[in-house]
């Protein structure tokens, strides 16, 4: 039996493998990647490596074994057939008879187009009959703190989220939850609504940035249409810009707010506060 992590070279996948290494022997972990060089560091630590690609169904033939626990990390090719990519993994898991397939989904109440692939994948997973765990991850602090350059350049946080709130947490928090599910018991056919303990507004985000940088950084709310134009101007294709701007519209409607406490319960500690994520980003 192995714990298999797909997308192991991505930001979240790497965190998950690191968390697993703290809980189980390395030879019980399989990291799935498209190329071996990106997981060479894990291989050097004794982690098993499997090469596979969501876009190459045959690459998953025989990758899983009966009794495996699998983490399907959602693909990053938004609006490019992610559901079909995910079905490749689901079908391979079903054929192998895995013990659990956990999927990193999105917030249940999110109506923005970015959630369509998550809903489609959840439907496919439930229809498959494979024992599942739905990890409905909320927003990462890093969605914002990893792109501070334009904010600090213009001294402005620009968003179309109104006074909506984001119950953010760090990638490491969500990775810890995934590791807890993969190494624990009783998670079969469970759904977890995951989000940070404290929801923050963009005005509060700007205020915390101001406090830590010593600059006067303001929140500049704009319309969804204006944000779409700004994103297109920064180089994003228009369809993708519209999808991301649509997320802000959902935030404004309160669709990201999570009050279950599932994340902190799974990881056994409070979630990472926004202030800490900002401090780490500014030091980096």
pLDDT digits (tens, 9 = 90+) for 203-236: 999 999 999 999 999 999 999 999 999 999 989 8
In this prediction, residue 79 carries a pLDDT of 58
**CA distance to 2, 65, 228, 259, per residue, from 69 (Å):** 6, 9, 40, 28
In this prediction, residue 113 carries a pLDDT of 86
In this prediction, residue 206 carries a pLDDT of 98
Distance of CA 95 to the CA centre of its chain: 26
**pTM score > 0.75 for this model?**
yes
In this prediction, residue 78 carries a pLDDT of 66
Q: Please return the burial class of 99, using the count of CB atoms within 10 Å of its CB with bins 0-12, 13-18 and 19+.
A: middle
pLDDT tens-place string over residues 60-82 = 999 999 999 999 999 876 656 78
In the chain (284 residues long), the average pLDDT of successive 10-residue segments reads 94 97 98 95 97 94 97 79 93 98 95 91 98 97 94 96 97 98 97 97 98 97 96 91 93 94 98 97 90
Q: Which two tokens stand for residue 8?
A: 């192991």
Distance of CA 266 to the CA centre of its chain: 16
Nearest CA to 31 out of 7, 66, 60 is that of 7
Residues 218, 206 contacting (CB under 8 angstroms):
yes
- Compute the CA torsion angle 162, 167, 170, 173 (nearest 10 deg): -170
In this prediction, residue 222 carries a pLDDT of 97
Q: How far apart, in whole angstroms, are the C-alpha atoms of residue 84 and residue 121? A: 8
Which helix H or strand E contains 190, and what residues bound it? strand 190-194
Q: How far apart, in whole angstroms, are the C-alpha atoms of residue 242 and residue 113? A: 9
For residue 221, list its beta bridge partners: 159
Class level of CATH domain 3-137+171-194+259-271 = alpha beta
The runs of H, that is alpha helices, within the chain are: 11-21, 40-44, 82-96, 116-128, 142-145, 149-154, 171-183, 202-213, 224-233, 238-252, 262-267, 274-283
Question: What is the DSSP code string of 219-255?
Answer: EEE--HHHHHHHHHHTT--HHHHHHHHHHHHHHHTTT
């Amino acid at each position: 039996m192995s714990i298999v992590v797909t997308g192991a070279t991505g930001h979240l996948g790497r965190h998950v493998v690191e968390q697993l290494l703290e809980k189980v022997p390395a030879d019980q972990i399989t990291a799935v990647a498209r190329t071996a060089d990106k997981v060479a560091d894990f291989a050097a630590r004794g982690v098993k490596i499997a090469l596979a690609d969501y876009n190459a169904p045959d690459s998953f033939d025989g990758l899983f074994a009966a009794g495996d626990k699998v983490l399907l990390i959602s693909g990053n090719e938004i609006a490019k057939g992610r559901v079909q990519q995910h079905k490749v993994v689901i079908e391979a898991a079903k054929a192998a008879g895995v013990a659990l397939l956990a999927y990193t989904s999105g917030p249940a109440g999110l109506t923005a187009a970015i959630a369509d692939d998550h809903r489609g994948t959840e439907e496919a997973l439930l229809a498959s009959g494979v024992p599942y765990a739905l990890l409905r991850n909320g927003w990462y602090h890093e969605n914002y703190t990893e792109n501070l350059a334009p904010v600090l350049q213009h001294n402005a946080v620009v968003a179309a989220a109104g006074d909506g709130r984001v119950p953010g947490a760090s990638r490491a928090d969500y990775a810890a939850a995934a590791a807890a599910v993969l190494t624990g018991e009783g998670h079969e056919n469970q759904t977890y609504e995951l989000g940070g303990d404290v929801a923050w507004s963009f005005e509060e985000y700007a205020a915390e940035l101001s406090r830590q940088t010593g600059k006067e950084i303001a929140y500049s709310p704009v319309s969804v249409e204006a944000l779409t134009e700004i994103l297109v101007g920064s180089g994003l294709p228009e369809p993708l810009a519209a999808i991301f701007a649509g997320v802000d519209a959902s935030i404004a409607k309160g669709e990201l707010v999570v009050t279950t406490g599932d994340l902190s319960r799974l990881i056994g500690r409070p979630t990472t506060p926004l202030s800490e994520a900002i401090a780490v980003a500014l030091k980096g």
